[in-house]
């Protein structure tokens, strides 16, 4: 391969496009030959000298292969769809960033669509993406029972699930180890001396929500504590609004508690809101631990104790799994679990001795 970092002064990428034909003519070969020379995988089919001549010609006139034309012939678009609920949710930008960076390295381009967790929009996005002939799909939205989920399967293109996993399916996935995460959270709280711990869970229809809740009661039990059903509620989404609603519901229930493990950081923020409104001191009156360690979690009041998961890496791994499957559709399905870690800040403290 010729030096790629050559400092070219006059490569003018013209809009109208230099075509392969022109390269071929300049190199004095047939377009077919030029094509073979330019493609890495087929370069072996042409004489070394000719290949060099073609490459030089291409360089000289600034040839850029037209992916549209290529895609038409090969029915590979070198694009992949990315389905997320909402880019505006701070959880996703780092994930997407990881995806973009990894994909870019391999010449793939992500097409990002927001679904707002709306089944109809999701369905529509899947349609649009498949119309654009994406080579694969990364999705952070699939609910276990969603009809859109069926649509995914029937698409017959590589799919990898992010931040979710599906039970029996042979769909690849990468997600944080949710069980381990809340285990860390509960153990931290118990270590601090808490015994009456509440859980504000996410939607049971998502593996994330379900797993975290499961692990909560499991861990409580294992530690010999009572997971009071009145203290483990779950909501319809992991948002500040839902967190607020759930927290109020908890308070209204009347059951005592000194700590909360929230389904995620946003839910934890919802708790902060009711604390402020009700004059509850955190962590004095009640401790809170979040999940995700999203950006700025260290800057809230109080700085939030939470479970950190490697967002960017999650995106990167997801992209890698997808690329792998695109290249070898028969490779075995894999489910990756990313290790979470506890990061202790100021929203957790030992419970008051005597209320």
Partner DNA sequence: CCCACCGTTGCAACCGTTTGCGCGGCAAAG
Partner DNA sequence: CTTTGCCGCGCAAACGGTTGCAACGGTGGG
Q: Report the C-alpha gap between 19 and 281 in whole angstroms.
A: 69
Angle subtended at Cα 235 by Cα 202 and Cα 242, rounded to the nearest 5 degrees: 100
Span 7-26, contacts to DNA by CB under 7 A:
16-21
- The contact mask relative to a copy of itself for 46-75 (x = CB under 8 A, - = no) is ------------------xxxxxx-xx--x
- The contact mask relative to a copy of itself for 91-110 (x = CB under 8 A, - = no) is -xxx-xx--xx--x----xx
Q: 11 or 205: whose CB is closer to DNA?
A: 11
Q: 12 or 168: whose CB is closer to a copy of itself?
A: 12
354 contacts: CB under 8 Å, gap ≥ 6? none
CB 227 within 8 A of CB 217: yes
Span 26-85, contacts to DNA by CB under 7 A:
28-33, 35-36, 38-39, 42, 45-51, 63-66, 69-70, 72-75
- The contact mask relative to a copy of itself for 175-204 (x = CB under 8 A, - = no) is ------------------------------
Q: 105 or 352: whose CB is closer to a copy of itself?
A: 105
CA 29 to chain centre: 46
Distance in Å, CB of 78 to a copy of itself, minimum: 9
Q: Name the binder of 60 from DNA, a copy of itself, none, CB < 5-8 A by kind.
A: none
- The contact mask relative to a copy of itself for 120-139 (x = CB under 8 A, - = no) is -------xx-xxxx------
Among 2, 9, 13, 279, binds a copy of itself (CB under 8 A): 13
User: Residue 112, interface with a copy of itself (CB under 8 A)?
Assistant: yes
Distance in Å, CB of 340 to DNA, minimum: 43
Q: Give the interface with DNA as residue ranges (CB under 7 A).
A: 1, 3, 6, 16-21, 28-33, 35-36, 38-39, 42, 45-51, 63-66, 69-70, 72-75
């Amino acid at each position: 391969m010729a030096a790629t970092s050559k400092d070219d002064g006059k490569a003018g990428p013209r809009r109208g496009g230099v075509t392969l034909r022109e390269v071929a003519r300049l190199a004095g070969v047939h377009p077919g030959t030029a094509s073979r020379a330019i493609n890495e995988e087929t370069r072996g089919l042409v004489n070394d000298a000719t290949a060099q001549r073609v490459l030089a010609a291409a360089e000289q006139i600034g040839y850029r292969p037209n992916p549209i034309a290529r895609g038409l012939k090969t029915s590979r678009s070198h694009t992949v769809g990315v389905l997320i609920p909402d880019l505006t949710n701070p959880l996703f930008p780092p994930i997407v960033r990881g995806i973009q960076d990894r994909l870019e390295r391999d010449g793939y381009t992500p097409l990002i669509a927001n679904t707002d967790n709306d089944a109809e929009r999701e369905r529509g996005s899947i349609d649009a993406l498949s119309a654009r002939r994406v080579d694969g799909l990364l999705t952070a939205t699939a609910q276990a029972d969603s009809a859109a989920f069926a649509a995914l399967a029937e698409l017959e293109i590589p799919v990898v699930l992010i931040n979710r996993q599906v039970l029996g399916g042979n769909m690849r996935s990468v997600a944080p180890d949710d069980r381990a995460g809340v285990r860390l959270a509960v153990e931290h709280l118990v270590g601090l001396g808490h015994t009456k711990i509440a859980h504000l869970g996410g939607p049971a229809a998502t593996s994330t929500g379900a797993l975290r809740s499961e692990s909560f009661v499991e861990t409580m039990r294992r530690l010999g504590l009572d997971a009071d059903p009145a203290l483990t509620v779950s909501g319809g989404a992991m948002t500040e609004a839902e967190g607020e609603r759930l927290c109020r519901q908890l308070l209204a229930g009347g059951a005592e508690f000194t700590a909360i493990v929230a389904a995620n950081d946003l839910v934890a923020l919802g708790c902060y809101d009711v604390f402020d409104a009700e004059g509850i001191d955190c962590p004095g009156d009640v401790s809170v631990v979040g999940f995700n360690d999203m950006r700025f979690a260290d800057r809230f009041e109080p700085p939030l104790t939470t479970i950190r998961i490697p967002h960017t890496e999650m995106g990167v791994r997801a992209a890698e799994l997808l690329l792998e499957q695109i290249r070898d559709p028969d490779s075995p399905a894999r489910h990756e679990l990313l290790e979470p870690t506890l990061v202790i800040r100021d929203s957790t403290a030992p419970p008051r001795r005597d209320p």
